[in-house]
Each structure stands twice: as structure tokens, then as C-alpha cells.
Structure 1
Amino acid sequence: MLTFAAAVFFLIVTPGPGVLSAAGVGSAFGFRQATRYLIGLFIGSNIVGAAVISGLAAVILANPAIRTVLMAASLAYLFYLAAKIAFAGAKIAFMQSKRGPGIGAGIMLQVINPKAYAVNTALFSGFSFAPDNYTFEVAMKLAIMYAIWLPIHLGWAYAGASLHRLNLSTRAQRRINYAMAAAMLMVVLLALFSSFFA
């Protein structure tokens, strides 16, 4: 169980679309909006977990065309979220972002996020500690994941929101938003690179 908990911690704490976007939403729109977004991420994470546990994800993702569509949708959506964070408070008419991503955006990100499927597949197909009682093992894994997932994501959102609360100048806040968006885009580029060269 301890090995599983360590794996969960390191797989979740490393910057990925979920934690980076949570920090970005917190930085650009404040903690309240980031909390709404986190509720969506949590629901989406559970949808992905259910798909992996039931075997549905393996059946769907066995089709290369579906995997390609999901990867393209994920990349496009991450670009969209990065733009929303980068241009928060901007006066550019087509990109004004007075209200940040909410519950629906969080669900959407997780459902089309390839890292969410990869992490859940690794965690639920490996690290067996109760092979004679699969139901107990899945329940314990979910409990451990929730106990680690929640504080890590709340911590990233709080860190972003702390920057938002500093009441920085518009220029400084814009630079922070750009940096958050750039970090998300780096994750997008790494995901794209790994999908081509894996």
C-alpha cells in the first residue's frame, strides 16, 4: 500500500494539465473560481477512473483513431485554457476572460486528458496489494488517491490564488498569467513529443 501511495503522490504532484491549470485558474481568477474548477477536475477524474476500472477505457483506447482524436481534442482544449489564463483581464475583445473556467471545464479537461488515463491505468492495473479481494483493493486505492489528490490540487490552486491576492500591477499580473499559460503549453508540447516518439 505504501508503494501505491508513493506512486500516486509522484504521479499527481508532477506538473500536468490538471495541477498546472488549477494554479493558472487560481492565479488569473482567484481561489473561489479555482475551487469550482477543481470540483470539475475531481468529477472528471472519477469518470476516467470508472472507465479504467471497468475496462471501458481499454476497449475505447485500443482504437488508434479514437486515441488520435482524444489527443487532438486534449491539445486543442489545453491551448484554449492556456489562452483563457494568459488573457485574463485583457482588453482584447475576442479573448476577454472575466469569468474563469468552471466545473464543466474541469470535467472536460480530465475526460480528454491522456495523462489521466495513463495514470489511472498504471495505478489500477499495477501495485496489487490485495489480489484475493479486488473490490477491497479498488476501494482502498480510491481512498488513498482521494487523500492525496485533494490536498495536492488544492495546494496548487491556493499557490496560484496567492499570486492573485497580492494585488500586483496589471503588468505584473499579466506576466504571471503568461508564465502560467506557458507552463501549460510546455506540458502540451511534452505530451505531443512523447506521443510521437514513445
Structure 2
Amino acid sequence: MLAFAAAVFFLIITPGPGVLSTAGVGSAYGFRPGLKYVLGLMIGTNLVALAVVSGLAAILFADDRIRTILLWASAAYLAYLAFRIAFAGAKIAFIHRATAPGVMGGILLQTINPKAYAVNTTFFTGFPLAEMSFSAEITLKFLIMNAIWLPIHLGWLWAGVALHQLNLAPRTQRAINIAMALSMLAVVALAALAQI
């Protein structure tokens, strides 16, 4: 169980579209709108996990055409976000929209987030827990995953809010934007390489 909890922690805390966009929403819109976005991400993550556990994701991804369409759609969207981040200029502005993305924005991001599928597949197909029934193991994994997932995302949200409140030099802000964009592009590249 400790190995599973450690895997959950390290796979979720690493930069990916969910945590990077959470920091961006916190930086751009503040904590309260960010909470709605985090709620959407959490719902989306659990929907992806249910798709993995139920086998729906495997059925969909078994069709090369569907898998390719979903891969390119997610890659295009994540590359677009990375582009917006990298060229935000000398101010930290991960996401520039008139209103915060909200709950639905979080749900939609997770449903096309290749890292969410890879991570949930790892969680639910690996790390067998001590001799227990399938339903008990899945339930326990969902509980552990969410208990770790939520504080990590709230931490990233807080980091985005705190980053906004700092008076950083324009050069530093530009470097942060580029680092975040490169991190998102790395996720896109890894997802594409996994399909080859």
C-alpha cells in the first residue's frame, strides 16, 4: 500500500497539464475561481479512472483510428496551451481568458489529458494491494488516490496564487513561462512517443 501511495504522490505532483493549468488558473484568477477549476479536474480525473477501471478506455483505444484522433486532439490542445504560456510575454499569464475556466473546463481538460490516462492505468493495473477482493482494492485505490490528489492540486493552486502576488523581474517571469510551456510540451512528446 505504501508503494501505491508513493506512486500516486510522485506521478501526480510532477508537472503535467492538470497541475500546470491549476497553477495558471490560480495565478490568473485567484484562489476561489481556482477551486472550481480544481473541482472540475477532480471530477475529470475520477471519470478517466472509471473509464480505465471499467475497460472503456481500453475498448476505445483499441481502435487505432479513435486512439489517433484523441492523441492528436489532446496534443494539439496541449501544444496550444504551451504556446500561449510561452508567449505570454514578461508577465506570468499561463492562461489568458476573460473568465476562469471553471468546473467544466477542468473536466474537459482531464478527459483529453494523456497523462491522466497513463497515470490512472498505472494506478489501477499495477500495485496489487494485499489479498482483497477486486471491488475492495479498487475502492481503496480511489480513496488513496483522491486523498493524495486533492492536497497536491490545492498546493499547485496556492503556488499559482502566491506567484501572482510576487513582484518578479520581467526576465524571471518570462523564464517561468517558458519552463512551464516546455513542461507541457514534454507531456505531449511523451504521449506521442508512447503511441509509436
AA at the equivalent of 1:113: N
User: Could you say which residue in structure 1 is the equivalent of 2:189?
Assistant: 189
For the aligned residues, what is the CA RMSD? Answer: 2.6
Structure 2 counterparts to residues 36-55 of structure 1, below 5 A: 36-55=36-55
Matches for 1:139-150 after TM superposition, within 5 Å: 139-150=139-150
Query: Would the aligned equivalents of 2:115 and 2:187 in 1 still touch at CA under 8 Å?
Result: no
Deviates more, 1:74-83 or 1:100-109: 74-83
Q: How far is the alpha carbon of 1:188 from its aligned partner?
A: 2.2
The DSSP-based 3-state class of the residue aligned with 1:99 is coil
How far has the Cα of 1:135 moved from its partner? Answer: 1.3
Please state whether the residue corresponding to 2:101 is helix, strand or coil: coil
Q: Is the 8 A contact 1:48 1:110 kept in 2?
A: yes
CA 1:118–1:179 in 2, change beyond 3 Å: closer, same or farther? Answer: closer
Q: Which SS does the other structure have where 2:128 is aligned?
A: coil
TM-score computed with the length of structure 1 as normaliser: 0.82
**Conservation of the 8 A alpha-carbon contact between 1:71 and 1:113:** no
**Conserved? CA contact 1:24–1:177, under 8 Å:** no
In 2: Cα distance, 1:187 partner to 1:57 partner: 19
Q: Report what 1:77 is aligned to.
A: 77
Q: What CA deviation, in whole Å up to 9, does each residue of 1:52-110 have, x standing for no partner? A: 111111111111111111111111221333355556799xxxx9623232222211111
Give the aligned partner of residue 8 of structure 1.
Answer: 8
What percent of counterpart residues are identical? 60
Deviation of 1:150 (Å): 0.5
Q: 1:34 to 1:79 in 2, by over 3 A?
A: farther
> Which residue identity lines up with residue 39 of structure 1 in the other structure?
L
Q: What is the rounded CA distance, in whole Å, between the counterparts of 2:152 and 2:84 in structure 1?
A: 23
How much has 1:169 moved relative to structure 2? 7.2
Verify: 1:116 aligned to 2:116, yes or no: yes
